[in-house]
Amino acid sequence: MVPVSNPPGDSGPPEEARPDASLHIHLNTFTHEGRFWDAHLEFVEDPRDPDSCRARMCFVPTDRGDHEEPVRTAVIFIERSRQDALRAAKALDRYNLVALLRSVT
């Protein structure tokens, strides 16, 4: 999996404030309303249903200030495996990603 990373030269938030890289996969970077946004697939563990894989989208502005938190959708992918969830997320194009971001901001 590809870990969440900061732009070169940016140390970013303290390690404890960073999302767990094992649960995130960077999918795309796009522009929306004058900002660049990183779109990540974020896996969500559900102990009630361990035979499924649940995931949501997590959006992080690349110029994120100290006061800003990542923006997340609700769980929108429920698949049999992480590979299936990743395949479904990769099928989203820029317009889908912008629409999802707009729905949560």
Q: What is the pLDDT of residues 17-38, one digit of tens each?
A: 444 555 789 999 999 999 999 9
CA 32, 36, 41, 43 torsion-angle sign: negative
Supply the pLDDT for residue 37.
97
Where is pLDDT greater, at 94 or 5? 94
Q: What is the pLDDT of residues 82-103, one digit of tens each?
A: 999 999 999 999 999 999 999 9
Give the DSSP H/E element, type plus range, for residue 59: strand 53-61
The proportion of the chain whose per-residue pLDDT surpasses 70, expressed as a percent, equals 79
Q: Give residue for tokens 């990373």.
A: 5
Q: What is the pLDDT of residues 44-94, one digit of tens each?
A: 988 898 889 999 999 999 999 899 999 999 999 999 999 999 999 999 999
pTM, two decimal places: 0.75
